[in-house]
Each structure stands twice: as C-alpha cells, then as structure tokens.
Structure 1
Amino acid sequence: MDSLHLPRRAFLAGIGSAAVAAVTSCESPRATSATRTTTPRPSSPSPAGEAALRRKIASLLVAGFRGTQVTNDDWIVKAIKGGLGGVILFDQDLETKSVRNIQSPQQVTALVKSLKDAAPGPLIVSIDQEGGSTTRLNPSNGFPASKSQAEIGAENSPSATRDWARGLVADLTRIGVNFDYTPVVDLNINPESRAIGKLGRSFSADPNVVVSNATEEIQAFRAAGVKTNLKHFPGLGSAAGNTDFEVVDVTDTWQEVELEPFQRLIQAGLADSVMVTHILNRKLDPTYPASLSTATVTDLLRGRLGWKGPVVSDDMQAVAITQRYSAADAVTLAFQAGLDLLVFGNQQVYDPQVVDQTIDTVVNLVHAGGLTENHIDQSVARVNTLRPKR
C-alpha cells in the first residue's frame, strides 16, 4: 500500500489494521458440517411446508446450462419452474470448447425470453460482461467489441466511462439480461496476476480511479434497470493465480487498501450486491477461504463495512473450492458464513443435478439444526432486491 503512495483516509483508520486484527483475533476455526454441534432436530415439516422450503432454497441459486434454445423437457427449465433463482449465460463451454448459450443477438434474446416465460416469478438472468476480454457478448456472436476496464481506467474520463458503460448495458437490455457481475473493483496491485492484471480487468491500482469509474458504470447500469455486483471481495488484485483453476493464497500479498473501493461504494449507496471470492487470506481467516468464512463475510463485510444487501458467491464449482471441500460441505459453509446467492456456473464440471442436490443439502442442514429457516428467509429477502420488477 505504501509503495503506491496512496493517502490514508479516515476509511483506513476505521477499516484497516484495527479491523483486520479484531477479525483475526476473535475468529476461531469453524467445524465442518460433519463435526459441527447442532441444535436438536425439529419435528418433520408437512409436505406443503417442505415444498415451500425447497422453493425458498431454490430461489437462492443461480445455475449455468448448455443450450442455445430450451424446451420444457430440459432440466434447466424444470429447475426454473421449481423456483430456481436465476441463470448465468456463457458464450463458450469450457469443456466442449463449443458454443454454449450465445450464437447471435436474435438467438440469445429468444433464449432469454423462453427462460423468463418458464419462471413463476421474476428470474435473475445474469452474465459476466465486464468489457475487454471478459465479455460473453462480443464480436464472435454479433455484438460490438468493448474496451477493458484497464483501458477505461487509463483514460479516466467520466464522460468516456459513461459512454462505455452505456454501450455495455445497452447490449444487456437488448437481450433481456438484468444482472451483470461487474464492476471489478479490485486494485491492480499485481499487473502479472492471472486473475486480474494480465486480463485487463482492473480500472487501476489507485482506489480513487477505481471508485470514480465504478461509480459512473454503476449509475449507467442503474439508469437502464440492470443490477450490478462489486467483486472480488475482500480483494483479488494481488493474487498471482486464478481461483477458477487453482487454490490461491494472498496472505503474503494482500493489502488493507484493497478493502477501500468496496467500503466507499457501499457507503455511497452504490452497491447492489457484493461477490466474495474464493481466495485464502489468513490475515482475515486462518482456516477458510473468503467465500466460506464467517470472519470475512459476516464480521468484516457485513459488520465492519456495514453491508446489508445480498452477498453473492463466485463460482461454487471453482477448483479453489472443489479441491478442498465436498459439494455439501462447501454449500453448508457458504450459507453459514453469510452468503445469500450461490452461483454454479456448470463450467468446471457439468452437472444437471446440481440444483436438486444443493437443495437437498440445505434442506437436510435445516432439519439438522445447522441453519434456520429464518436465516433462509433473510437471504431470500436480500436476493429479491436483485430481481426485476414484473
């Protein structure tokens, strides 16, 4: 941080070393779902109560799927009819190296309409459309090219940023997407980072540049009715690796200043949601990655930074998670840590059963006393703020 010659604002006095020390010192490692002490098992719910619980849990999940069109027989449509909270669209399938969901503007518009028509209520239709190389709507499938966040940050012109953001969001509203996993508010601390720097995903190493450009982008998206997502909390800009493909530890590289863009945007009322990444940061939690960490999600993000809205996971099927945890344990720890919306990209592995299996895991967790239905209701209320009005 000091090497960046950045001013130490009042923010750092309240959120910096004192907060980190408090979080680290007070958080003891949590038991896994297999060893945790639970409250006595409640009586079995009625069939109607069980069905309602399953629908609530389903509404807290986002899933990826294969197909450029869907029918009523497809598992994703059945999941949507059963209350699935949302879908995530991709241009390419990681495993098959073929087109996944997006061939052309006309095709994907029809696909999104089919998905929304199947939903009993407002459906979250999400995408990673950051600009630059991280775009699912791009010239290969009939959409215009866009500058990266790094290019926009280097220009650092409010008017240019507004025009850029309006171009991004126009493509989303054109096809019916209502939630974008952007902006990236990580600081470009490590320009060689395989996750951020080398991909041009950060506006800048300077938090002032990051906050000012993210502000313009968020305001443009809000004007168009599309929800946004601050990522990757508590900061991925110093990471060498990419959590999609490996376990990443930033303990020795992470800096307190990486919290600043999140804090300032939250305080300004500009956050619609916050994504928590899968990095290991032992300065914040000696045991669990950020996405599964009560110290990071509940104590730091919700407690110290004051975030009251929805907290979203990075891809729950990322190697950083699957290499260390079973699917059931990861889901259990994520919800207990304070996450509200779990994303399953179905890219690292393709599992048409992932929605039903995740619902089963959480139902069993509730029955065992490891999570209350009131906890789920609170998450449902927060996630509902991301849904379009219908």
Structure 2
Amino acid sequence: MLFFQNAYASEMPQDELLKKMIGRMLIVGFDGQSVTKDSQIVKQIQKYHLGGIILFDRHFNERTKTKNISSPSQLKTLTSSLKSFALKPLLISVDQEGGKVARLKSAYGFEATPSAKIVSEMDAYMAKRIYDNLAKTLKDAGINCNFAPVVDLAVNPQNRVIAGLKRSYSNEPKEVTKYAKIFMNSLRDKNIISVIKHFPGHGSSLEDSHNGFVDISKTWSEIELEPYIELIHSGDADMIMTAHVFNSNLDELYPSTLSYKANTELLRDKLGYKGVIVSDDLQMGAIAKHYTLEQIVTLSINSGVDMLLFGNQLSYQNSDELVETILAQVKNGAIPLSRILESNSRVEQLFTKIKIK
C-alpha cells in the first residue's frame, strides 16, 4: 500500500493514473444518437477509461425529445462506435425490465417485453422464452449490461414506483427469485451482465426516490433481503444496485446508497456478497437534494459502492468535475486509496464474465 501512496503524489503522471482508476468506477449518461472521435463522451471515455455508459430513449424532462435510442439499426451503430473508441472494456447499459420500464420500445422497432407482474403469471417455460427474446434483442443492439431484474417484493400495493408500475414479480421471495433467475440466466447466455435491484428493498416504500427523501423504516422487513440472500448464495449476483431509501433499522444517519452499515456491514460482511455494488442514479432527488457532490461521492465510495451512476437525465454532471472531486477526496485522505483499489479489482473481475467485442 505504501507503494501506491508514494506513486500517487502530486506529479501529473501519477495523478493521471489515479484519474483513470476513478474513471473505471463511473457510469455516465450523455446526449446524442451517434458519436464520433470528437464527441465529448468519447473524449471522456478515452481520457478517464470510464467503466460504463447508460443509454436512454427519451430525455426525462422532455419526453418527446430523443436522447440515445431511436431504432435498432441506429442503436447498433451507436454501441459499435462506443466500443470501437473505448480503450478499455466498457459497460454499455440500459434499464430494460419490460413493461413500463423499457428503453428499447416497440414504437422504435424493438420487440416488446411484458412487465414482471405479467411474466409472473406465466409458467417457467414461457418466462424463459420471453427473456431469451429480450436477451437476444439486447445482444443484437450491442448492450452488455442490463439494470434488471427488479427483486423488490410487492409488499405494499400502494407503492407507486414498484408495485404501481408492475415491476415486481410477487410479494413472495421464492416467486421473485424464481423469475429473477430465469431472467438472469437468459442474459448470462448472451454474455450480458444483469443488475439486481434495489438493495435492501424498495417494495415497501410509499414515495419515489426520484423526487426526494424516502423513509421505509416503519414498512421495511427482513423478508425483503431474501431474494438477495438466495441469488448471492447461488452465485447468480454479479452486480447489485443500491436503493436511495432511508431505513433507520439499518442506519440512523444515511440512506442505503451512502450507508456503510447497509453496503459493507450488511451486504458484504453479513450476506457475503463479493461482486460489484453500483449506485442508483446519484442525481435522483433522494440524494441530490440533500448532499453536495463532494459528500455524495465520498459517502457512497466509503460505504462500499464500486460504481457510481450519473445518468445525466435529471440534471447534468460534468465528468471532469466528477473525477477531480473524487481525486481531491482521495488525496486529502477523505476517501482511502484502498477503496479505489478494491473497486477497480471488482470492476475488472466483472469484465472477465462477459466477452467484450
């Protein structure tokens, strides 16, 4: 460790190396349906060795305006270009759950996928056919990481963001795990990383963390951990996404994304998870309205988060500022260098699970 501390002194080459290690921990969104060598996102991918990008079909605040996805051929060209410009393996990710949460929509020429709720009414054979087709669609489009499946339990029928959107398979952990595994196996067969979400459970909430503070302290129960326990123990969980929910049973100070108690003490130490932890979008109101950028990156990385997601949908975060902020926090000791090294090791391990072309 002393070697790394000495290596990352104030000299520019050492700083540049550390910036690239920080870059491997970032997944960012950008505007545009195509890229060239002169595109800002391409320059950032190359400069910082970004770990991933996330694609959206529409702008969040301008639903009629296309962001990244308009047709199968356009998307394939975009992802091929991104991969060709990247100097290191790159996660190209989307939220393609099915139902209302789908970036590759039938309106653009992609095959539609039903919601988790509808799939849960099918037998395993039909569910597999559905998810095999979805995985093929993603593979053909050049996507190698899907922020799905949702393993939140539908324990609160009044929940607007999970149950209300039919994103949960069931209120029973075994049913949720059954269909999640089918989904994940279909993705794995096409060398696509799946991301189970939202740890430690968003299904009992009443509010939407896109908008602001969400407290599940009185509604959450440990049964919501059961899908994670099963999928970790079975070796299926490669990436787990945090939830921006506050749960005083786990941490009296911080929401789960920023919580060492949730992400390290519970998820890693107690449940035995060794894979990559990715944050939900750090520009969502539950986080962005209550913490500064410096606090967000420091708390999330120190909590155990390995990859930080900035979708650049709800607001815009310049990647240069982001990297420089984290760099400053590492150099002043607020973020231990060991956390950067740990996360880089997990991210590189993740890339061995998919065949990057």
TM superposition score normalised by structure 2: 0.95
Equivalent residue for 2:323?
359
- Is the counterpart of residue 113 in structure 1 residue 88 in structure 2? no
**Secondary structure at 1:385 match in 2:** helix
**In percent, how many aligned pairs have the same letter?**
38
Contact 1:42 1:368 in 2 (8 A): no
Residue identity in the other structure for 1:338: G
Equivalent residue for 1:374?
338
Equivalent residue for 1:331?
297
Contact 2:210 2:285 in 1 (8 A): yes
Contact 1:187 1:206 in 2 (8 A): yes
Equivalent residue for 2:201?
235
Equivalent residue for 1:11?
none
Contact 2:111 2:134 in 1 (8 A): no
The one of 239, 264, 268 equivalent to 2:230 is 264
Contact 2:198 2:242 in 1 (8 A): yes
Alpha-carbon distance in structure 1 between the residues aligned to 2:250 and 2:173: 21
The one of 136, 160, 164 equivalent to 2:103 is 136
Equivalent residue for 2:249?
283
Contact 1:230 1:273 in 2 (8 A): yes
CA 179–333 in structure 1, closer or farther in 2 if over 3 Å, else same: same
Contact 1:277 1:314 in 2 (8 A): yes
5+ residue gaps, structure 1: 1-39
Equivalent residue for 2:118?
151
Measure how far apart 1:43 and its partner are: 7.8
- Greater RCO (Cα-Cα under 8 Å, separation 6 or more): 1
Equivalent residue for 1:57?
22
Alpha-carbon distance in structure 2 between the residues aligned to 1:376 and 1:382: 10
Give CA-to-partner distance per residue, 1:114-144, whole Å, 9 cap, x none.
1111100111100000011100001121111
Give CA-to-partner distance per residue, 1:178-222, whole Å, 9 cap, x none.
000011000001122121001000000011100111111111111
Give CA-to-partner distance per residue, 1:302-332, whole Å, 9 cap, x none.
0110001110000010010011101111111
Measure how far apart 1:241 and its partner are: 1.3
Equivalent residue for 2:167?
201
**Secondary structure at 2:53 match in 1:** strand
Equivalent residue for 1:296?
262
Measure how far apart 1:96 and its partner are: 2.7
Alpha-carbon distance in structure 2 between the residues aligned to 1:385 and 1:62: 16
CA 194–44 in structure 1, closer or farther in 2 if over 3 Å, else same: same
Equivalent residue for 1:100?
67
Alpha-carbon distance in structure 1 between the residues aligned to 2:210 and 2:84: 32
Higher mean alpha-carbon deviation, 209-218 vs 43-52, is at 43-52
Contact 2:302 2:339 in 1 (8 A): no
The one of 275, 280, 293 equivalent to 1:309 is 275
Give CA-to-partner distance per residue, 1:209-265, whole Å, 9 cap, x none.
001111111111111110101100000000111111121111111111000000111
Alpha-carbon distance in structure 1 between the residues aligned to 2:111 and 2:184: 20
**Cα RMSD after superposing both structures:** 1.5
5+ residue gaps, structure 2: none
- Is the counterpart of residue 346 in structure 1 residue 335 in structure 2? no
Measure how far apart 1:95 and its partner are: 2.2
Contact 2:208 2:214 in 1 (8 A): yes
- Is the counterpart of residue 127 in structure 1 residue 94 in structure 2? yes
The higher radius of gyration belongs to 1
CA 69–43 in structure 1, closer or farther in 2 if over 3 Å, else same: closer
Alpha-carbon distance in structure 1 between the residues aligned to 2:346 and 2:130: 29
Alpha-carbon distance in structure 2 between the residues aligned to 1:335 and 1:177: 26
Contact 1:41 1:369 in 2 (8 A): no
- Is the counterpart of residue 78 in structure 1 residue 54 in structure 2? no
Contact 2:275 2:350 in 1 (8 A): no
**Secondary structure at 1:214 match in 2:** helix
**Secondary structure at 1:315 match in 2:** coil
Measure how far apart 1:300 and its partner are: 0.3
Contact 1:41 1:367 in 2 (8 A): no
Alpha-carbon distance in structure 2 between the residues aligned to 1:86 and 1:284: 30
Equivalent residue for 1:25?
none
CA 215–232 in structure 1, closer or farther in 2 if over 3 Å, else same: same
